[in-house]
A and B are shown apart, each in its own frame.
Chain A
Amino acid sequence: MALPQAKQDVTEARIAALSLPEGGWAEPARREALARVRAMGLPNARDEYWKFTRPDTLVSAEAPAARVLETGEAPLFDSRDRLKLVFVDGVFSAEESDDLSLEGVTIDRLAEAKDIHWAKELYGTLEARGQEPVARPLAALNTAFATDGLLIHVTGKPSKPISLIYRHVSDSSDAILHHVIKVDAGAEATILENGPAAARFNKCMEVDLAAGARLHHVRAQGRDHERRAATHVFARLEKESVFKSFTLSVNGAMTRNEVVVEFTGDDGVAHVAGACMGDGDFHHDDTVFVTHDAVNCESRQVFKKVLRNGATGVFQGKILVKPDAQKTDGYQISQSLLLDEDSQFLAKPELEIYADDVACSHGSTSGAIDEDGLFYLRARGVPRGTAEDLLTIAFIAEAVQEVDDESLQEDLVERVAGWLARRRG
């Protein structure tokens, strides 16, 4: 079916502004992805899947400028022992990064395309699978045009987290990064991501978990008020594997985070969680799609949004249970804490179930700070502002607790506390 002309024009204008990296093992996958983009067209406001979030700044040929922000705060995760991998405006910086060697993992750069690579089987494959039943054209665009990224093969249990650090230097940077993470049977790793990446950021991460593999993914988006970001995580879980992904998003003019999870082996566990703090001109969208296509898998989606000053939060979450996915345990909750009446939360929770022996539940709520709790705290002498902050941090706790590592939880909560404190002045 031909695309509407307007959509086609926008899509072609965007494609024309980019150049497809040629040569190397990834090129065929890139060309296929480009064909997918052309067939789907980039999203516009009429698309059902973009009903709550305007995609125009994410698809325009030119990236809107975004200033680099200095908060004076030490970057998150700074004090922990980790393998540091730094990207500056979307380009890997070997100088600022640690040596890529770490026992239990091999890491290569996408930009250093050789003729043969293990990632050939995966690059664009999970993204392509994730295009059904809902199109995700920005992810296909990413596969076609990504200029850099890391190919991470976890073969054992590396002793420290692999930490991707993004730095935003130029007001007009428009970065497209694509990471592929393959975790072998029984292997386990933690991936951290933080820092402002670019004025506009399109990131895709494909995660392939073999039997019994485990991956912990903790990311923080923040320190860039004018950020525009579209990110995708595609995870495929084989038998008994575990995938846990948590995102803390702070500020940002436009952020759309999509997570697409597919259980292809029995007894898998996937937890996708997020907390976001929005102030003023802030739009944050979490879009999650979990497909159960295996027996006895557990999925959890836990999203909390704190919104003030006219900020907007969006949640679109779906659990799809295929006919043979018996004993599925699916849970989904999305909640917002509205600190004033100008802010809004738009939620579209969905369950689609074709198996009969499943336990799925979902819920979505939106509310103000609990007055009784506030009075109780104040009656014990806690000043109003501190009491509000305590209750706000308590509100996001259920999401933060999805992170297994308690010291990481503490780091994340400290960020949120700092954010709240700065707003109280």
Chain B
Amino acid sequence: MLEIKNLHVKLEEEDKQILKGVDLEVEAGKVHAIMGPNGSGKSTLSYVLSGRDGYEVTDGSATLLGEDLLDMDVEERAAAGLFLAFQYPVEIPGVGNMTFLRTAVNAQRKARGEEEMSSADFLKVIRARAKELKIDAEMLKRPVNVGFSGGEKKRNEILQMAMLEPKMCILDETDSGLDVDAMKLVADGVNALRDEGRGFLVITHYQRLLDHIKPDVVHIMANGRIIKTGGPELALEVEQNGYADIMSEVA
């Protein structure tokens, strides 16, 4: 599904190398988790994959279903099936949540040569999905993320994911700032989307989320590299002992 090879990334404006050779492959139907200390490059990886400005790929490659991601425009990557749930969802005053989502869904369909969704169908689907995530109708009408609480923003990301039905979902700290109940809602939302044809890359600091979203593989990222890969037990190890042991072990 998602194949990242020897990815080297530096900041465009500064001579600062952030990713120093990332290798990672997420297979369809699998959930991979990435953990790692603050500043290790996890969000940078997610931004580079989704095409944000400000980064320069100096070496390596990233493909989605065999297609070169790094060569595509941001919106093309989305239409190809890549989705990033932002660590910090952006507020967009003046653009209604509903308008935004309908525009996005139909833009992606159009880009893929599919038929657009009618307003009536769209309404039906979004109402059902929003209800599952306990997002009320009033929130759908409000401008995108404006005045949303931290937890509401994260749930809104999951709603978008549910509506767009991407093939490869990257979740960047979608659990941070969530209360226990909201965490459960978000995890349920993710689990509902788990299926054979879809891959997940879940970035998190806490084992707690992984209790709800059971990962198949856990990676530890430090200093711009994946330094260790293992099963779910690796997350437990981090939870108990922190990163020091793993990092000294590798070094």
By a beta-carbon cutoff of 8 Å, the part of chain A in contact with chain B is 370-373, 375-384, 386-387, 390-391, 393-395, 397-398
CA distance A215 to B160 in the complex (A): 42
Q: Are B92 and A394 in contact (CB under 8 A)?
A: yes
Residues of chain A lying within 8 A (CB to CB) of residue B74: 375, 378-379, 384
B171 close to A (CB within 8 Å): no
B95 close to A (CB within 8 Å): yes
B84 close to A (CB within 8 Å): yes
Residues of chain B lying within 8 A (CB to CB) of residue A390: 95, 99-100, 103
Q: Are A373 and B111 in contact (CB under 8 A)?
A: no
Residues of chain B lying within 8 A (CB to CB) of residue A394: 92-95, 143
Residues of chain B lying within 8 A (CB to CB) of residue A370: 92
CA distance A380 to B143 in the complex (A): 16
Q: Are A379 and B84 in contact (CB under 8 A)?
A: yes
Across the interface, name the chain B residue whose C-beta is closest to A396.
B94
Q: Are A373 and B107 in contact (CB under 8 A)?
A: no
Residues B42-58 near A (CB distance < 8 A): 50-53
Interface size of B in residues (CB-CB distance below 8 Å): 32
B90 close to A (CB within 8 Å): yes
CA distance A380 to B99 in the complex (A): 13
Q: Are B53 and A371 in contact (CB under 8 A)?
A: yes
B122 close to A (CB within 8 Å): no
Q: Smallest distance from the beta carbon of A413 to chain B beta carbons, Å?
A: 11
By a beta-carbon cutoff of 8 Å, the part of chain B in contact with chain A is 50-53, 73-75, 77-79, 84, 86, 89-95, 99-101, 103-105, 107-108, 111, 143-144, 160, 164
Q: Smallest distance from the beta carbon of A215 to chain B beta carbons, Å?
A: 27
CA distance A370 to B79 in the complex (A): 22
Q: Are B53 and A379 in contact (CB under 8 A)?
A: no
* 7 A-B pairs closest in CB distance: A394-B94, A381-B78, A397-B94, A381-B108, A378-B74, A380-B104, A376-B90
Q: Are A381 and B107 in contact (CB under 8 A)?
A: yes
Q: Are B104 and A377 in contact (CB under 8 A)?
A: yes
Q: Contact partner of B164 among A381, A393, A398, CB < 8 A?
A: A381
Q: Are A379 and B164 in contact (CB under 8 A)?
A: no
A-B contacts counted at CB < 8 A amount to: 81
CA distance A391 to B164 in the complex (A): 21
Across the interface, name the chain B residue whose C-beta is closest to A392.
B94
Q: Smallest distance from the beta carbon of A295 to chain B beta carbons, Å?
A: 33
Contact A393-B94, Cβ < 8 Å, known A377-B100, A377-B104, A381-B104 = yes
Q: Are B75 and A381 in contact (CB under 8 A)?
A: yes
Q: Contact partner of A380 among B73, B93, B164, CB < 8 A?
A: B164
Q: Smallest distance from the beta carbon of B50 to chain A beta carbons, Å?
A: 5
Q: Smallest distance from the beta carbon of B188 to chain A beta carbons, Å?
A: 22
Residues of chain A lying within 8 A (CB to CB) of residue B105: 381
Q: Contact partner of A391 among B51, B75, B92, CB < 8 A?
A: B92
Residues of chain B lying within 8 A (CB to CB) of residue A398: 94
CA distance A390 to B79 in the complex (A): 19
Q: Are B107 and A382 in contact (CB under 8 A)?
A: yes
Residues of chain B lying within 8 A (CB to CB) of residue A383: 75, 107, 111
Q: Smallest distance from the beta carbon of B61 to chain A beta carbons, Å?
A: 20
Q: Smallest distance from the beta carbon of A221 to chain B beta carbons, Å?
A: 22
Across the interface, name the chain A residue whose C-beta is closest to B92.
A373
Across the interface, name the chain A residue whose C-beta is closest to B79.
A381
Residues of chain A lying within 8 A (CB to CB) of residue B78: 378-381
A380-B160, A390-B95, A394-B94 given. 20 additional CB < 8 A pairs?
A372-B90, A373-B92, A375-B74, A375-B90, A377-B92, A377-B95, A377-B104, A378-B75, A379-B78, A381-B78, A381-B105, A381-B108, A381-B111, A382-B100, A383-B75, A384-B73, A387-B75, A393-B94, A394-B92, A398-B94
